[in-house]
A and B are shown apart, each in its own frame.
Chain A
Amino acid sequence: MVIATELQNPIKRKYPKKHNHYGFRDFFQFDPDKGTIIDWNEGQNILTTEDFIVGLVEGLQEEVGDASAATMYTIGCEWGQKDAFFFEKWFEKEFDRNMRQTNLLFLLETWWWPFTAQGWGRWEVDMGDRKQGFMFVNIFDSAVARTLGDVGKPVCYLYAGLFAGFFTELVKKQLSCIEIQCYSMGETYCKFLLGGQDRIDAAAFWMNEGATARDIEKRLRTGDMLR
């Protein structure tokens, strides 16, 4: 998680318009005296171990039982919504350009890069079905799934919430997200479906019936919906 601060990276002070600043030493500024790690966008970062993620997931499970998935999703949503505003500010400052007058894929890559640098994994956005009202996001090396290992079910609710929250703010339209394939189900990467609530509900239903990500993609593309 990131907390905004006023401190500034010396490389950024010298080259404020440098865009390729995601190398470990460029992006993070370590201050051993203060014990802080400040990133390029002046957010304070905290290093956590995999134990922290296990503690978060299992602790929540113990506290609220089956509602833990929804809780993680809601945390992700709020995070994504707040991050959309945070992103808008730093993007416009760095690129001297309105976020809405920018190539969409470039904008999205730029949004995700700090997450990549912070260890949330690489991503790939598939917007081929955007006109039909849904899209897919693939995450390679999800921090949550990599930590929990093969548990036979999707576990990246935090990511699903993050995408739902961010994209809802970006397009100013209520969107939801569901993970339809997860590294923790023995797959090689995680796949998320983003769209309106009706499509997400349909995908959740098909998943419960045993559908794979590929089945869900096919059914969505043929316009198959719940009756």
Chain B
Amino acid sequence: MLSQIERLSREVDGRYASDAELTFAIDYVRSFNLRVQTYQKLQEIESMLVQQTYSKMRTLDPTVFDSAGTDISAKWKRDTLRVLRYVAIAVLMDDADTFRERLLLWFQTIMRAFSAQRSCNLTYQVMQDVIKQSLTAPQANLVCPLLELSRRTLGTIA
């Protein structure tokens, strides 16, 4: 949203915006209540979401939290919480661009440095399933595309 507003303010330099150019703002206003509800819900069930994702991942791949003999569960939880909180604000603000710019592009290089793409791919795939079970369909439709963006950005091997 903020990125779009900024883009619009540059594009409409010295003129009024057209109806088509304002569509995104109207859509945002219409979706605002849902966004706030989703944001609050994510805040409320954050630890449950991370815990469920963790347990499902362990079941699917018992070695996923083992990095050369070291248990990386605590580190994984910190990283996953951080991504989830950025996802939540991106849902509220309807701003995937800022999410990419402020977190994902940096985090992608860090995850690659630690060869964590496989774990990231699984994390954000499983988390989408957990979200679909825990949130209403319209809420999940706001969250899942951002988790999918996270999966593609962090979980792809270069």
Contacts and interface: CB of A to CB of B under 8 A. Distances in A.
Interface string B113-148: 110000000000000000000000000000000000
Contact of B114 (A106, A113, A124): A106
A20 B109 contact: no
Nearest to B102: A23
B106 A103 contact: no
B106 A22 contact: yes
Interface residues of B, number: 14
B106 to A, nearest CB: 5
Interface of A: 19-20, 22-24, 26, 103, 105-106, 108-109, 113, 124
A19 B106 CA distance: 9
A24 B158 CA distance: 25
Interface of B: 82, 98, 101-103, 105-107, 109-110, 112-114, 158
Contacts of A22: 102, 105-106
B143 to A, nearest CB: 20
Contacts of A106: 110, 113-114
A109 B109 CA distance: 7
A24 B113 contact: no
B1 to A, nearest CB: 15
B114 A20 contact: no
5 contacts: A20-B82, A22-B105, A23-B98, A105-B113, A106-B110
A109 B107 CA distance: 10
Nearest to A104: B113
Pick from B101, B107, B109, B114 the residue with the most CB of A within 10 Å. B109
A26 B102 contact: yes
A108 B109 CA distance: 10
Contacts of B102: 20, 22-23, 26
Contacts of A26: 102
A103 B114 contact: yes
Given A23-B102, A105-B113, A108-B113, 17 more contacts: A20-B103, A20-B106, A22-B106, A23-B98, A23-B101, A24-B101, A26-B102, A103-B113, A103-B114, A105-B112, A105-B114, A106-B110, A106-B113, A106-B114, A109-B109, A109-B110, A113-B106
B39 to A, nearest CB: 20
A22 B102 CA distance: 6
B104 to A, nearest CB: 9
A217 B82 CA distance: 40
Contacts of A124: 158
A113 B98 contact: no
A106 B106 CA distance: 11
A104 to B, nearest CB: 8
Q: 7 closest Cβ contacts across the A-B interface?
A: A105-B113, A23-B102, A106-B113, A109-B109, A20-B106, A23-B101, A109-B113
Nearest to B105: A22
Contacts of A24: 101
A103 B106 CA distance: 16
A49 B44 CA distance: 48
A26 B112 CA distance: 23
B109 A113 contact: yes
Nearest to A108: B113
A41 to B, nearest CB: 15
A210 B105 CA distance: 37
Contacts of B105: 22
A113 B103 CA distance: 12
A120 to B, nearest CB: 14
